[in-house]
Amino acid sequence: MYQDISMVFSGAAGQGVQTITGALLHVLKKYGCNVFSCSEYMSRIRGGSNSTEIRITEKKRDAYVRRIDMLFALSHNVVEHLKDRISSKTLIFAEKEKFGDQWGDSCIDTPLTKFAVEAGSAGFSNIVAAGVVLGMFGIPLELFTAYLQVKFAAKGEEIATKNCIAAKLGYSFGRDTAATANISLQISIPAAMPERVLMDGSTALGIGAVAAGCNFISSYPMSPGTGLLTFLANRTKEYGIVVDQAEDEIAAINAGLGASYAGARAIVTTSGGGFDLMQEGVSLAGMIETPIVIHIGQRPGPATGLPTRTEQGDLNLALHAGHGDFARVIFSPGTLAEIIDTTQQAFNLAQRYQIPVFILTDQYLLESVSTIEAASVKRRTVETFLVKTTETYQRYAFTDDGLSPRGVPGYGDGLVRVDSDEHDENGLITESFDIRRRMVEKRLNRIRSLMETACMPTFIGSVDQAETLVISWGSNRWVLEEALDVLGNRAFGGIHFSQVFPLNPVINSLFENKRLFVMENNATGQFADLLSFETGRRISRKILKATGEPFTVEEVVDALHQSDHE
């Protein structure tokens, strides 16, 4: 009897684990469950050992757990790969015919291939597997067959039908197994479930960008940043987006800036290593006061590091990227809603303040799939702040707030002249120290307004009464919430930052008389240091992890439990 189940599907790259998990997530969501999945995989195209965790929970739980309740082993080395997460309670589903009896008593022989062949081809075994799960949990088969009909519609009726047969064979097997092994899912499904959408972080980012009026992207593929590029590339016609695959990251950001100068709403996407190469471009954005949104999908460094794994190690990089002083904003969303919303904010702020704005995500966030109420997905007004120029237009006119009205070439009677050298109000090279001084101030002054309007963090649990605040940013939003919930100790409250720079000075008051913990997925505690520096407060504890894996709920609970007894 499971009230909160963690199932892991594991096999080699290319074995189609995604076919199983894609189907299950869809059907389970339709049925009304709360579902979540996250994936870990190797940097290779075929072979190796990858796995995807699916959680089915009554409460919304969008976080990675270490525990494996059921493991579907699709290749030999699965148990070796996951040994740290398998316990005596883990049920293993595997084909004994293929893998022998290596997994002992806890293994339920699951003849996927046999059923698949029965349905028409060994290729259907993934569908069989999904069927087994749905059968075990008594999820109506029709939901699955409906899904398959749609999915394989294009491939012709025969294929669709065979898939349905495979599904059904698996389903019956699952139902029987559940009965024998006394397996059941005890999750109450609300009668009237609000409409929910199901997607991964990259998709949310793409939706946010499209909603933000993004119409230009030039980028170079790099995991895990590529998802956004692919999302937009597949919607060029539909939304009028110009998509260019750049020859390198330097080209990407310079093309983005060129486009932005000419009036496009531009974004670039990359990961830490590619971003290193963009830094001179970031500095250019600062100098020419041209908006650009920069998405950094973080992964473990240094250098190539672990290209398909996760880390939150690029905060300092984003914070100090590009030589010279100028204003910037850094968002760090942790939920689908936050991704969609901060992405829109990012574009609007970039335009309003004529600055580079960063969105920091990571592999874990981008590739985790979860749900969100459709009605809560909000569109912000697309703000452009462009002016039609007159003949006397000056791109860098001095104004009270340091923001010069921004024109674009070809719109109005003026000329728009931007210069990476220090320049005067007209954009002409200058060596006047006086103008230099004023231009430096101009570029920095907007930080004040950016601070005052910075997003407030989210409170998790009883922040007021808590003695200790546990602070997270970015992808750790849900793991923190669940850990605090599991811990159930009112001495702990949570605070999550979906904007990490600049920080709203108001937060200082939150921290009064509190012990502060910061949890983050890097080796040194970059946000802890930033927070400590900006607020002048001591961080009592850094909960860190930099192995390339995300935090598990269990280890955060343990870490907090332990501190409680310190």
Ligand X SMILES: Cc1ncc(C[n+]2csc(CCOP(=O)(O)OP(=O)(O)O)c2C)c(N)n1
Contact 346, 332 (CB under 8 A): no
Q: Which residue in the set 251, 293, 471, 519 belongs to the binding site for other proteins (CB under 8 A)? A: 251
Supply the minimum distance, in Å, between the C-beta of residue 305 and a second copy: 6
Pairing of strands 292-298, 196-200: unpaired
Instruction: From the list other proteins, ligand SF4, ligand X, none, pick the one residue 2 interacts with, judged by a Cβ distance below 5 to 8 Å according to partner type.
Output: none
Nearer to ligand X among residue 14 and residue 505 (C-beta) = 14
Strand, helix or coil at 293?
strand
Contact 403, 441 (CB under 8 A): no
Supply the minimum distance, in Å, between the C-beta of residue 347 and ligand X: 24
Torsion of CA 80, 86, 92, 96, to 10 degrees: 30
Specify the stretch interacting with other proteins by CB under 8 A; choose among 91-99, 281-289, 438-446, 535-543: 281-289
Q: For residue 329, what are the β-bridge partners? A: 357
Nearer to ligand X among residue 273 and residue 427 (C-beta) = 273
Residue by residue, DSSP assigns 432-489 as -HHHHHHHHHHHHHHHHHHHHTPPPPEEES-TTT-SEEEEEEGGGHHHHHHHHHHHT-
Backbone φ and ψ of 477, nearest 5°? -50, -55
Nearer to ligand X among residue 47 and residue 405 (C-beta) = 47
Instruction: Give which of 71, 113, 112 is closest to 93, Cα–Cα.
Output: 71
Nearer to ligand SF4 among residue 45 and residue 192 (C-beta) = 45
Specify the stretch interacting with a second copy by CB under 8 A; choose among 173-181, 336-344, 386-394, 525-533: 525-533
Q: According to CB under 6 A, which residues from 201 to 240 bind ligand X?
A: 220-222
Long-range residue pairs from 58-62, CB within 8 A, at least 24 positions apart, any chain: 58/3, 58/4, 58/34, 58/187, 58/188, 59/4, 59/34, 59/485, 60/34, 60/371, 61/4, 61/34, 61/36, 61/478, 61/482, 62/36, 62/335, 62/368, 62/370, 62/478
Q: Which residue in the set 226, 269, 298, 522 belongs to the binding site for other proteins (CB under 8 A)? A: 226
Instruction: From the list ligand SF4, a second copy, ligand X, none, pick the one residue 445 interacts with, judged by a Cβ distance below 5 to 8 Å according to partner type.
Output: none
Instruction: From the list other proteins, a second copy, ligand X, none, pick the one residue 244 interacts with, judged by a Cβ distance below 5 to 8 Å according to partner type.
Output: other proteins
Q: Which residue in the set 156, 190, 410, 536 belongs to the binding site for other proteins (CB under 8 A)? A: 410
Site string for ligand X, 280-309 (x = CB under 6 A): ------------------------x-----
Radius of gyration, alpha carbons of the chain:
26
Contact 147, 164 (CB under 8 A): no
Specify the stretch interacting with other proteins by CB under 8 A; choose among 46-54, 97-105, 439-447, 533-541: 46-54
Cis, bond preceding 307 (omega within 30 deg of 0)? no
- Our finding on whether 274 is near ligand X (CB under 6 A) is yes
- Our finding on whether 255 is near other proteins (CB under 8 A) is yes
Site string for a second copy, 428-467 (x = CB under 8 A): -x-x-xx-xx--xx-xx-----------------------
Contact residues toward ligand SF4 (CB under 6 A) are 45-46
